[in-house]
Amino acid sequence: MDKVLRIYNTLTRTKMPFRPIHEGHVGMYVCGPTVYGDGHLGHARPAITFDVLYRYLMHLGYKVRYVRNITDVGHLEHDADDGEDKIAKKARLEQLEPMEVVQYYTLRYHKAMEALNVLPPSIEPHASGHIIEQIQFVQKILDNGYAYVSEGSVYFDVEKYSKDHKYGKLSGRNVDELLETTRELDGQSEKRRACDFALWKKAQPEHIMRWPSPWSDGFPGWHMECSAMGTKYLGEEFDIHGGGMDLVFPHHECEIAQSTAALGHETVHYWMHNNMITINGQKMGKSLGNFITLDEFFNGTHKLLTQAYSPMTIRFFILQAHYRSTVDFGNEALQASEKGLERISEAYSRLMALKPAATTTVDVAGLRERCEEAMLDDLNTPIVISHLFEAAKAINTVHDGKGTISEADLAELRDVFKVFVEDILGLRIGAADSSNDDAYRKAVDLLLNIRQQAKQNKDWATSDRIRNEMAEIGFKVKDTKDGFEWSL
């Protein structure tokens, strides 16, 4: 099979074959979280989407350098150019050092990602650790005449840039309209046009996070970090840049403009964006009371949740939709996913226990090719999952004694499950959890060995306590000639 991955490029609005710049190698950059709050569902989707892309590229044999940044300079979401820095504000309110806030939320984010079985990226650069690179990048844009200094801040000159290049190519925004409709209303602004965006902001006296620069003590504009860190670690041109659809404008549009203004050419070959998440049909937002953190999902503690959902259920649920479709979280849909995941998990465990026969009577031929084909078609994970459900049916037929499977087909099926369920979809379930089972069995054996020893030492208190309390949990322990047997 010709294994050419086809991906949808937001810039060209077409699905196109993926050809990396350097044969066998892929450079990929994904906008990571802003660490000033608990990880929420919105963080899970891009992380899982690009985790699957990362895993699949490696499966295809590419060596991947995956860069996912941490935005910790602290920019507002809606009002990136003005207003108070959120990390600084939080630090002031909680009397913390800003980097203490960053560290706290970064650790929590990592914990949630690990629970979701999201692989760590190759490099996870912090914006705050790349201020020098960002200042140099701003200077290049100034030198090339596409920015201006005003009151110690530096702004990108959208009007000037759009005379030489196309501003709005990624988002499809019309630059004339932008220039027209964003005229200043108050006349007080230091910007020439409202659509000009900050490359560097002079810090107000109360602003804690600040760095010296040729223009003022201040901090970089939000879009600058990804231009600077992406090109630092992946080169002036690299393969894939991803993120949530909400970042197309202004964040990624501004990144394209910045890179083109500084380097004279575009940086990214393929722009990829995952669609957004809604909760019971509504956009997620603090004011709507449906802002559910990942921890609340895992513990079931939010009032909108009727139960807890395991990280693997969340992961599976997200993968049951194509990454370019919207996903609506609701209890019923999540419960259906939980059951679906259980079905695959159970089939996987049964698959590992099946005994081969001389012939195969169930339909399992071509499963690997069908799964591969779905993945090559712009990472169509819902189709892969539907193929796995069909395979689960065949496995259950053999398990129930209503069909047979040959040794070769059994080995093939086990490998397809390992590759697609574990390696590519990244689901930690059933047989994939055997390392946990193994550790659990060893722990029970250890406990019972301690009981044996206690008996030999006539320490009846300890030996009785272990036996009684294990019985309460539900273990049946039987003493035998050579030691013990147990079951749950």
Q: Residues in the site for Zn ion, rule: CB under 5 A?
A: 31, 226
C-beta of 199 vs 226, nearer to Zn ion: 226
- Shortest distance (Å) from residue 19 CB to Zn ion: 24
Q: How far is CA 153 from CA 71, 130, 189, 204, 373, in A?
A: 20, 18, 11, 11, 51
Q: What's the token pair of residue 191?
A: 């910007």
Please, which residues have CB within 8 angstroms of residue 3's CB and are 6 or more apart in sequence? 60, 372, 376
Instruction: Between 31 and 294, name the residue whose CB sits nearer to Zn ion.
Output: 31
Residue 471: how many other CB atoms lie within 10 Å: 11
In the complex, the smallest distance separating the C-beta of residue 48 from Zn ion, rounded to whole angstroms, is 18
Q: What does the block give as tokens for 376?
A: 């090559």
Q: How far is the CB of 251 from Zn ion (least distance, A)?
A: 6
> Cβ distance 254 to 31 under 8 Å?
no
Radius of gyration of the chain (CA): 27
Closer of 254 and 327 to Zn ion (Cβ): 254
**Nearer to Zn ion among residue 69 and residue 290 (C-beta):** 69
In the complex, what is the shortest distance from the CB of residue 230 to Zn ion, in angstroms, rounded to a whole number? 8
- Beta strand 268-274 with 238-244: parallel, antiparallel or unpaired? parallel
Rounded distance between C-alpha atoms, residue 381 and residue 383, angstroms = 5
Cβ 220 to Zn ion shortest distance, Å: 12
Phi, psi of 401 (to 5 degrees): 75, 15
Report the residue number, 125 or 168, with the smaller CB distance to Zn ion: 125
Short-list 131, 40, 123, 37, CA closest to 87: 37
What's the closest the beta carbon of residue 222 comes to Zn ion, in angstroms? 8
Beta carbon nearer to Zn ion, 226 or 432: 226
Q: How far is the CB of 298 from Zn ion (least distance, A)?
A: 27
Choice between 225 and 422, CB closer to Zn ion: 225
Cβ closer to Zn ion: 87 or 427?
Answer: 87
Q: How many CA atoms lie within 13 A of 339 on its CB side?
A: 5
CB of 104 to Zn ion, least distance (A): 22
The number of C-alpha atoms within 13 Å of 31 and in the hemisphere containing its C-beta is 22
- Write down the least CB distance from residue 31 to Zn ion, Å: 3
- To the nearest whole angstrom, how small is the minimum distance from the Cβ of residue 271 to Zn ion? 12
209 vs 224, beta carbon nearer Zn ion: 224
Q: How many CB atoms lie within 10 A of CB 430?
A: 22
DSSP for 465-488, written as a single string: HHHHHHHHHT-EEEEETTEEEEE-
Residue 65 has phi, psi (to 5 degrees) of -105, 110
**How many CA atoms are closer than 13 Å to the CA of 407, on its beta-carbon side?**
1
Two tokens, residue 297: 């999902």
Instruction: Write the DSSP symbol of residue 402.
Output: S
Neighbours of 147 (CB within 10 A): 26
- Of 258 and 381, the one with the shorter C-beta distance to Zn ion is 258
